[in-house]
Structure 1
Amino acid sequence: MIAIGGTIGTGLFLGSGTTISKTGPSILLVYLVLGFFFFLMMRAIGEMLYSDPSQHTFVAFITRYLGPAAGRFTGWTYWLGLTFCGMAELSAISTYVQFWFPTIPAWIIQLVFLGTLASVNLIAAKIFGEAEFWFALIKILAILALIVTGIFMMTSHSVTPLGHASFQNIFHNFSMFPHGGLSFISAFPMAFFAFLGIEFVSITIGESTTPHRIIKKAVNETLLKILIFYFGAMIVIMGIIPWTHLTPQSSPFVQVFKLAGLPAAAAFINFVVLTSASSSLNSFIFSAGRHFYQIADELPSDSWLHQHFATISKNGVPAAAIKVSALLLLITPLMSLTNGTSAVFTIVAGSSNDMYIIVYALAMLAHRKYRESSDFLPNGFKMPWYKVTSPLTIAFFAFIFITLFFIPQDIIGAIGAIVWTVVFGGITYFHQRSMVSADANN
């Protein structure tokens, strides 16, 4: 539920209209390819976690197998990415609430939701899991409602203002690249970012009572369930609404329920995306807290960050790390009081999203080092066809990053990710070298 809650969000409920309008029915192929490579990445992370389930995040393995500099760079990069994604979700939440209560200031809504979900995370991991279960369940029920409604309409050939609902609509006048090869390629990064958060399930393993059993079950089943939900939703949407009639401006879910004779569809979907954004924010706070704890824990024991943030509360959660992550999210309500920082936020958020690709690639490189180490378990939970699938997955992440430069709105973010990697990565590397030299001289 945590992985589903972190992955299925506004990218499906609101953004699927954009991806379908770009590629038509071939969007199914895009999600199939992405699902395959995300499954391989999760198997690589799962294999390392199976060998040492005591680790709180997969970044610990990057530190162990690629070195402290790479680990520190990845930890800070991933943590910042999580917090900026959390800010984006917090901004979205206020927009969805104002659908019903337009007079309430956005900053008040954001403070209420941030305070509530931060408190949920501070109480206990079990409470977080319970909240995330119900958040994810609402999303799943909405998707199942869409699929059941769509199947009924298609099997009964229901008449709509756009014609008859039918499976034949999906491949009627089919074209692999209806708007050209570039539109097809640009759908990959859009769909890629819809999968962000699937690795959240790995962050919960260390707090599970039966980690080895959970690792296998979660990794093997999660992606299949997500693909079923995405595939099922996409097939139903295109079966009821000919893909040539879908527009990016409106949620396909709203359009389907309206055609099914449910005039309250807009309000219903607004409720679903509100819970979806709340679910994502809940997951981002949980994950950011664990990652900040990991950053502090890997620093020398006499450092200020280690002493203050590498601690576990009586409730069994990294409370101090969760609090500092939540405090950073307070930037969002401050931004809501002024419009001057919105452009900067857009650029920074775009860059942080693009840096996820770099983080995922480093996780795959760490897995390759793990395979060469004495920690490797020949009888463990192994990544399938490793010698072929590992380099293919890394090459695919490189392909996704390159495609960002073909999309005008993603170019700034991609350049920002490169600048961050070169500058901060370089500073981290040389700082680590200076520390090693100082230790050698002493």
Structure 2
Amino acid sequence: MAKKAPELKRSMTAGQMEMISLGGAIGVGLFMGASSTIKWTGPSVLLAYIFVGVILYIVMRALGEMLYVDPGTGSFADYASEHVHPIAGYLAEWANVFQYIVVGISEVVATTEYLRFWWKGTSDWVAGAIIILFLLVANLASAKAYATLEFWFAMIKVVTIILMILLGFAVILFGFGNGGHPVGFSNLWSHGGFFTGGLKGFFFSMAIIVGSYEGIELIGISAGEVSDPHKAIVKSVKSVLWRILIFYVGAIFVIVTIYPWNKLDSIGS
């Protein structure tokens, strides 16, 4: 008698799936990477984030269509194998593995930088080892445990960015924390114009911006673990990218409006 193939428990909720994708895309790319993109092209980086975001929305809609028909954990790698060629699927799988090795290392390095900023004297290698061990345990425990941790960690990032945007607009419009003197919007064009890096800088910044949005594709990978995948996929694909755009564009708008873009290097991330 043939053994029954193992099935996924589908223990994730739709909300957890959304937050995994949202939290995956909002991270080092915004908190530390924004200074690089702003340096390349100045305030016009806002348009670059919007432009790349629209392209990714089209890609995510296409992925969402395939996920709705076949919501498995293999996601784009399986679709490449089935609809293009097994070699395409093989390359997609290993490209994704390589991507997350690089991104994972960069995330750990960034985290150790923050820990050293908050707690002077923190050993980089000890902090890095603890972070890697924690992530390993969280991923190996269960899909439900991983989803719960991701949900709350992503929530911390989301709340932080929302508060940053709200306080930023209070500074811009009402002078909150600036002696009651509104900062206004002049920093968007007063230091070399809006397109300070020209078209060259504008297009170069997109290389970093595309990497900043990395993580949004986790919708595809987590779809196979959600209890009601069809409902979750429709909701996530329609809403997640727009939320990410609001967070990225809103946060960077606040940064380049409050502070001259050409002096951001002196204050760090």
TM over 0.5: same fold? yes
Of residues 213, 218, 226, the one that matches 1:208 is: 226
Give the match's secondary structure for 1:229: helix
Alignment of structure 1 residues 221-300 onto 2, 5 Å: 221-247=239-265, 250-251=268-269
Unaligned residue ranges in structure 1 (runs of 5+): 252-442
Residue 239 of structure 1: how far off its partner (Å): 2.2
Closer, same or farther: CA 104–245 of 1 in aligned 2, 3 Å: closer
What is residue 21 of structure 2 aligned with on the other side?
A: 3
Which amino acid is 1:43 matched to? R
CA contact (8 A) 1:164 1:240 kept: no
SS in 2 for 1:151: helix
Separation of aligned partners in 2, 1:61 and 1:209: 21
Matched, 1:86 2:104: yes
1:40 aligns with 2:61: no
Q: Residue 185 of structure 2 aligns with which residue?
A: 167
Partners of 1:19 and 1:30 lie apart in 2 by: 9
Query: 1: CA distance between counterparts of 2:146 and 2:117?
Result: 27
Given that residues 15 and 248 in structure 1 are in contact (C-alpha distance below 8 angstroms), is that contact kept between their aligned partners in structure 2? no
Equivalent of residue 143 in structure 2, options 103, 125, 128: 125
Aligned counterparts of 1:32 and 1:175: Cα–Cα separation in 2: 19
Matched residue, 2:197: 179
1:105 to partner: Cα distance: 3.9
Matches within 5 A, 1:23-422: 23-101=41-119, 103=121, 105-157=123-175, 160=178, 164-172=182-190, 175-247=193-265, 250-251=268-269
Structure 1 residue 12, shift from structure 2 partner: 1.2
Deviations 1:268-326 (A, max 9, x none): xxxxxxxxxxxxxxxxxxxxxxxxxxxxxxxxxxxxxxxxxxxxxxxxxxxxxxxxxxx
For 1:104 and 1:156, the matched residues in 2 are separated by: 38
Q: Is the 8 A contact 1:166 1:239 kept in 2?
A: yes
Q: Secondary structure at the match of 1:246?
A: helix
| Aligned-partner SS, 1:189 | helix
The aligned amino acid for 1:179 is G
When residues 101 and 243 of structure 1 are mapped into structure 2, their CA distance, relative to the original with a 3 A threshold, is closer
Name 2:16's counterpart in structure 1: none
How far did residue 171 of structure 1 move?
A: 4.1
Distance of aligned partners of 1:188 and 1:104 in 2 relative to their CA distance in 1, 3 Å threshold: closer
Compare 176-185 and 213-222 and name the one that shifted more. Answer: 176-185
Distance in 2 separating the partners of 1:142 and 1:11: 15
Bigger shift: residues 233-242 or 214-223: 233-242
Between the aligned partners of 2:129 and 2:82, the Cα distance in structure 1 is 38
Query: TM-score with structure 2 length normalisation?
Result: 0.84
Q: Distance in 2 between matches of 1:90 and 1:142?
A: 20
Following superposition, the deviation at residue 193 of structure 1 comes to: 1.1
Q: Bigger relative contact order, structure 1 or 2, given CA contacts below 8 A and separation 6+?
A: 2
Which 5+ residue runs of structure 2 have no aligned equivalent? 1-18
Tell me how far apart the structure 1 counterparts of residues 197 and 151 of structure 2 sit (CA, whole Å).
39
Contact 1:5 1:132 in 2 (8 A): yes
- For residues 168 and 8 of structure 1, the distance between their equivalents in structure 2, rounded to whole angstroms, comes to 28
CA positional deviation for 1:98 = 3.3
Shift of 1:159: 7.7
How far apart, CA to CA, are the structure 2 residues paired with 1:128 and 1:159? Answer: 39
Q: Give distance in 2, aligned partners of 1:244 and 1:95.
A: 23
Q: Structure 2 vs 1, CA of residues 100 and 127 (structure 1 numbering), >3 Å: closer, same or farther?
A: same
Q: Distance in 2 between matches of 1:175 and 1:50?
A: 45
Letter in 1 for 2:140: L
Kept in 2, the 8 Å contact 1:155–1:166? The answer is yes
Q: Which amino acid aligns with 1:51?
A: V
Partner AA of 2:237 in structure 1: V
Percent sequence identity is 35
Verify the 8 A CA contact 1:98 1:104 in the aligned structure 2.
Answer: yes
For residues 116 and 192 of structure 2, the distance between their equivalents in structure 1, rounded to whole angstroms, comes to: 40
Answer whether contact 1:56 1:205 (CA < 8 A) is retained.
Answer: no
More deviation in 131-140 or 220-229? 131-140
Deviates more, 1:102-111 or 1:60-69: 102-111
Aligned-partner Cα distance in 2 for 1:250–1:193: 20
Query: Whole-Å Cα distance in 1 between the matches of residues 57 and 205 of structure 2?
Result: 19
Q: CA 1:106–1:229 in 2, change beyond 3 Å: closer, same or farther?
A: same
- Give how far 1:249 is off: 5.8
Instruction: Give the deviation of 1:232 after TM superposition.
Output: 1.1
